[in-house]
């Protein structure tokens, strides 16, 4: 379900101090939103303010099936996704998005995940409880966030916003 952007949405997207992108389907219904955060020093009330914009999320989850190339699958288990732009005024990609987005356009968050370990056999050194160092195999996962703008004219524009490469832990952009 896409929602058309309002003048207020555009104003918040352009004047925010940080912008968060969030998807969560472990509640009774799916929730996908953009949060525009503004610090109190820039608001007329003097308090921090958050503006929520509902949007659609789509997923491509790649798995490596034995003897085949990567394939996209549907994923029905709970998923939580989070990405953000910490300084939108200084982010070139975000500024490009803002120049292309207008009232009545819609936004789709496209989340892409390599779910079985982007780099297999990557090792890291960790310190054990007894003080010795051991090498441990880690699988490194690659997650991406793209933003697709659906113009009111029917045209689509897609921008790559963020990539996360890390082990499968709480820092991961797409948690499954």
User: Each residue's pLDDT tens digit in the chain (176 positions)?
Assistant: 568 999 999 999 999 999 999 988 776 667 889 999 988 777 777 778 999 999 998 888 776 555 445 555 555 566 788 999 999 999 999 999 999 999 999 999 999 887 665 565 566 666 777 877 766 666 778 899 999 999 989 999 999 999 998 877 888 898 87
- Please report the pLDDT score of residue 74 as a whole number: 52
- 22-49 b/e (C-beta count within 10 Å ≥ 16 → b): bbbbeeeeeebbbbbbbeeeeeeeeeeb
- Please report the pLDDT score of residue 20 as a whole number: 95
**What tokens does 102 get?**
């207008």
User: How far, in Å, CA of 108 to CA of 5, rounded?
Assistant: 12
Instruction: Give the residue extent of every domain in the chain.
Output: 7-175
Widest distance between CA atoms in the chain: 64
- Please report the pLDDT score of residue 67 as a whole number: 47
Residue 129, C-beta contacts closer than 8 angstroms, at least 6 positions apart: none
The pTM of this model reads 0.80
- Please report the pLDDT score of residue 45 as a whole number: 79
| Backbone CA torsion sign across 79, 35, 117, 171 | negative
């Amino acid at each position: 379900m896409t929602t058309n952007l309002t003048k207020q949405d555009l104003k918040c997207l352009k004047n925010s101090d940080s912008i968060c992108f969030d998807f969560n389907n472990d509640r009774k219904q799916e929730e996908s939103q953009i949060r525009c955060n503004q610090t109190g020093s820039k608001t007329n009330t003097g308090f921090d303010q958050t503006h929520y914009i509902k949007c659609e999320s789509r997923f491509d989850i790649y798995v490596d099936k034995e003897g085949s190339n990567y394939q996209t699958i549907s994923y029905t288990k709970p998923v939580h996704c989070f990405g953000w732009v910490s300084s939108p005024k200084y982010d070139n990609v975000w500024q490009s998005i803002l120049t292309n987005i207008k009232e009545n356009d819609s936004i789709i968050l496209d989340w892409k995940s390599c779910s079985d370990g982007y780099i297999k056999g990557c090792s890291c050194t960790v310190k054990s409880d007894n003080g010795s160092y051991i090498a441990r195999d880690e699988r490194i996962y690659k997650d991406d966030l793209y933003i697709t703008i659906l113009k009111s004219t029917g045209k689509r524009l897609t921008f790559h916003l963020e990539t996360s490469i890390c082990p499968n832990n709480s820092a991961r952009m797409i948690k499954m």
